[in-house]
Amino acid sequence: MKPLVRDLLRQKQAELTAAERRLTAVLLQDSLVGGLQSITKLAESAEVSTPTVIRLARKLGFEGYGGLQDAIRDEIAARIKQPLAKLDMVEPQAPRDHILARFTKAAVENIGRTLEQVDLEEFDRVAALLSAPEQQLHLVGGRITRSNAHYFYNHLQIIRPRVFLLDSSPSVWPQSLLDMDETSTLICFDIRRYERELERLAQLAVKQGVRVVLFTDQWGSPIERCAVHTFRCAVEVPSSWDSTLAINVLVESLIAEVQSRSSRSSVARISALERMIGETNIFRGTSPGRDAGD
């Protein structure tokens, strides 16, 4: 069995320079996911030079950063497959033809296929766009993906200001379009069967200078024609409904990255939110001005 990258990093600690140890800390703090970035992005995250990244990879026994990345991908892929291995262990209760086993297998494969196709530089560009404080962010989803849009909105709105969720009724979308301009980004979720109302909304938004970020399935919504950034995700599972689990992996990854890029301002917003909740006695179960013991 090949040694795990995280084990190699720990074993080589005594041989590493201070810069290489900083780089190691960045890799280990997020289960090696940072190692899937471009070499430039990883170096910036650790505040080291790109030659430092290459030297560390070679100290671990790889020819260069590409070899280290391949090992990290294999390690992450193995972790993703673990749920299937656990299902195998309980085969009498969950045989392979059981819906739980078949659905989990399909969902894990969807996530793997989606991650293989993601352009990491494109991901970083979208994260930078969503982190830009001058950008207004508007989110919208269709019948199935409305919950994805709401989930993304709920997190972004806490992290940063100027985030808006469009109403579920297309009849009031023109009111939202009134406030969109070249400082706006429209985040659309649209998987088959694609919704014409969403396509028309995106077209009208683009005419006003709005950037469109699209989350769609592996075949691609018609909105892709006017989107600046598109993420295609695998959605097929053994069900009458498509699965949006792979979409949510990207959404949650973007939430984490936007939070990281907006750490100072987001901490201030979260602190202010906590104060407001405390001052209004929400969730306390007591009336204002009264102690719990009264």
Mean pLDDT of 247-252: 96
d(CA 134, CA 162): 8
d(CA 160, CA 74): 35
pLDDT band at 271 (very low <50, low <70, confident <90, very high): confident
Q: Quick one: which of 27, 39, 35 has its CA closest to 73?
A: 35
- Residue 79 has a pLDDT of 57
- Residue 80 has a pLDDT of 52
The tens digit of pLDDT for each residue in 159-205 reads: 999 999 999 899 999 999 999 999 999 999 999 889 999 999 999 99
The tens digit of pLDDT for each residue in 213-240 reads: 999 998 889 999 999 999 999 999 998 8
Q: Nearest 10 degrees: CA dihedral of 249, 135, 223, 171?
A: 110
Mean pLDDT of 36-55: 90
- Residue 278 has a pLDDT of 73
**Residue that the structure tokens 């469109």 belong to:** 212
18-26's contacts with Cβ under 8 Å and 24+ in sequence apart are 19/46, 19/48, 19/49, 19/52, 20/48, 20/52, 20/55, 20/56, 20/59, 22/46, 22/47, 22/48, 23/48, 23/52, 23/53, 23/56, 24/56
Q: Which sequence spans correspond to the domains of the chain?
A: 5-72, 78-116, 120-275
CATH architecture type of domain 120-275: 3-Layer(aba) Sandwich (3.40)
- Residue 97 has a pLDDT of 82
Least confident of 132-136, 175-179, 288-292: 288-292
pLDDT > 90: percent of the chain: 55
The tens digit of pLDDT for each residue in 82-131 reads: 444 444 444 445 577 888 999 999 999 999 989 988 988 999 999 999 99
Mean pLDDT across the chain, nearest whole number? 85
Q: pLDDT at residue 292 above 60? A: no
- Residue 54 has a pLDDT of 94
Residues facing 163 on adjacent strands: 137
Q: pLDDT at residue 5 above 90? A: no
Three-class DSSP labels, the chain? CCCCHHHHHHHCHHHCCHHHHHHHHHHHHCCCHHHHCCHHHHHHHHCCCHHHHHHHHHHCCCCCHHHHHHHHHHHHHHHHHHHHHHHHHCCCCCCCCCHHHHHHHHHHHHHHHHHHHCCHHHHHHHHHHHHCCCCEEEEEECCCCHHHHHHHHHHHHHHCCCEEECCCCHHHHHHHHCCCCCCEEEEEEECCCCCHHHHHHHHHHHHCCCEEEEEEECCCCHHHHCCCEEEEECCCCCCCCCCCHHHHHHHHHHHHHHHHHCHHHHHHHHHHHHHHHHHCCCCCCCCCCCCCCC
- Residue 10 has a pLDDT of 80
Strands 229-233 and 184-190 turn out to be unpaired
Pick among 1.10.10.10, 3.40.640.10, 3.90.650.10, 2.60.40.10: CATH of 5-72: 1.10.10.10
Q: pLDDT at residue 265 above 80? A: no
Mean pLDDT of 235-250: 93
Strands 163-165 and 184-190 turn out to be unpaired
d(CA 27, CA 230): 27
Q: pLDDT at residue 276 above 70? A: yes
